[in-house]
Amino acid sequence: MSIAMKELIRRPGRFVSVGGALTMLVVLLVVLGGFLDGLELNSTGPYRAHEGRLLVFSDGSELLIQRSKVDAGQAEQLTSSDGVAAVGALNQIESTAGAGQGEIVDIVLFGYDLPTDAIPSPPVDGGVIVDEALADRNDVAVGDTLLIGAESEPVAVAGIVGDLSQGSPTVWLSTQRWREIVQSGNPAALPPEGTDQALVVEPSAGTEISDLAASLGGLDGIAVVTPDEAIKALPVVQQQSSTFEGIIGVTFVVTLLVVALFFTLITLERVHLYAVLKALGARTGNLMAGISAQAVGVSLVALILGLGLSLAFVGLLPADLPVRLVPARLLQTAVGVVMSALLGSLFTLRRVLHVDPAEAIG
């Protein structure tokens, strides 16, 4: 074990200040990342419900479903293309649902044709599937009746699926029933007969989703994208991620500066020790490796403590706050913190370089 690691283990008190600061920064990074992911997940449920499928929008819609209009001819073209198992409609409208004791909540009402891994086939009897966001928060159970829209169309709840929020909870029913409800409540918003807002393409077995997207991309008048691509095009997602990523980036810079400051100060204290080690034959590189090892060591401990604290903190938050800890984000935070610490530790190079071994003697 190197001298630097022995110091870290035998004199942990010296590193408490930087370790504590890094732990707090880790908590901040994890919680910020959790909010970013939570907000994104909270506004993209219907897209993620179509994982493994392709979504089709009209050209010029900028991949936004409420601006898109796809006609039957285009649907027919897709259906007859290679690698396509089925094509279904996907339409949405912002609406309301009255549940139980007359309380009314905002929902997004989806009309659809094809089942996915997350949603079963649309009920044929005109019933609805509701997501957990509505079921849990408003005490809706299978068999209850919801009153949808301005005209309070009654629908029976036939099933409950996981949280598919798109800002508001979502309610899913057959395309035909969707058209009936929109017709009666808000006829101006109804796409003309034979057109839909968007289409869902189910690939045939053994077809790679990316290959299919590429081969269908040539068709005129439409854009064929994966759910992920559609999510990235959502203005709400773009705004949230640029805001949060800005804050997260600044936090990484702060982390780097904290480490740089701490080790620069500690290097001042160690000038004599470093002079002695240089006199004994240590090179600047040996000493820098020690400093970087300490910075990485401290940041790893801070990561463990910070993750633990974040889990506890997130557990204390009210359940309806949209915070989600996603493994990929946690990994990114961990790598970012270690890299910031490593880079920060390199700020001592100039001072270590200037330590004169001759100062050790006399």
Distance CA 191, CA 71 (A): 10
Least distance from C-beta 14 to another protein, angstroms?
9
Residue 52 DSSP code: T
Residue 50 DSSP code: T
Which among 191, 354, 171 has a CA at the least distance from the CA of 278?
Answer: 354
Of residues 323-362, which lie at the interface with Mg ion (CB under 5 A)? Answer: 362
Distance CA 292, CA 279 (A): 21
Give which of Mg ion, another protein, none residue 50 binds (C-beta under 5 to 8 Å, depending on kind).
none
Among 283, 312, 350, 354, binds another protein (CB under 8 A): 283
Does 315 contact Mg ion by CB under 5 A?
no
Only one of the segments 86-94, 182-190, 219-227, 276-284 lies at the binding site for another protein (rule: CB under 8 A); that segment is 276-284
* Per rule CB under 8 A, count of chain residues that contact another protein: 23
Write out the H or E segment, with its range, that includes residue 177: helix 175-185
Among 102, 194, 206, 280, binds another protein (CB under 8 A): 280
Give which of another protein, Mg ion, none residue 2 binds (C-beta under 5 to 8 Å, depending on kind).
another protein
Give which of another protein, Mg ion, none residue 10 binds (C-beta under 5 to 8 Å, depending on kind).
another protein
Among 69, 286, 288, 300, binds another protein (CB under 8 A): 286
Distance CA 246, CA 249 (A): 5
Write out the H or E segment, with its range, that includes residue 249: helix 235-269
Among 143, 187, 281, 327, binds another protein (CB under 8 A): 281
The β-bridge partners of 166 are 168
Does 205 contact another protein by CB under 8 A?
no
Q: Indicate the SS3 state at residue 188.
A: helix
Does 206 contact Mg ion by CB under 5 A?
no
DSSP string, 261-324: HHHHHHHHHTHHHHHHHHHTT--HHHHHHHHHHHHHHHHHHHHHHHHHHHHHHHHHS-TTS---
Query: What Å distances lie between residue 139 and 130, 146, 213, 313, CA to CA?
Result: 11, 11, 40, 27
Among 30, 129, 282, 323, binds another protein (CB under 8 A): 282
Give which of Mg ion, another protein, none residue 288 binds (C-beta under 5 to 8 Å, depending on kind).
none
Least distance from C-beta 362 to Mg ion, angstroms?
5
Only one of the segments 1-9, 88-96, 164-172, 219-227 lies at the binding site for another protein (rule: CB under 8 A); that segment is 1-9
Does 357 contact another protein by CB under 8 A?
yes
Least distance from C-beta 361 to another protein, angstroms?
5
Q: Indicate the SS3 state at residue 99.
A: strand
Backbone angles phi, psi at 348, to 5 degrees: -80, -5
Only one of the segments 94-102, 273-281, 292-300, 340-348 lies at the binding site for another protein (rule: CB under 8 A); that segment is 273-281
CB nearer another protein, residue 13 or residue 235: 13
Give which of Mg ion, another protein, none residue 315 binds (C-beta under 5 to 8 Å, depending on kind).
none
CB nearer Mg ion, residue 194 or residue 362: 362
Rounded-to-10 torsion of CA 34, 39, 45, 51: -50
Give which of Mg ion, another protein, none residue 319 binds (C-beta under 5 to 8 Å, depending on kind).
none
Do residues 28 and 339 lie in contact, with contact meaning Cβ atoms separated by under 8 Å? no
Does 2 contact another protein by CB under 8 A?
yes
Residue 92 DSSP code: E
Does 352 contact another protein by CB under 8 A?
no
Separation of CA 242 from chain center? 12
The β-bridge partners of 91 are 111
Distance CA 100, CA 104 (A): 9
Give which of Mg ion, another protein, none residue 350 binds (C-beta under 5 to 8 Å, depending on kind).
none
CB nearer Mg ion, residue 318 or residue 362: 362
Site for another protein, rule CB under 8 A: 2-3, 6-7, 10-11, 272-273, 276-284, 286, 357-358, 360-362
**Contact set with Mg ion (CB under 5 A):** 362
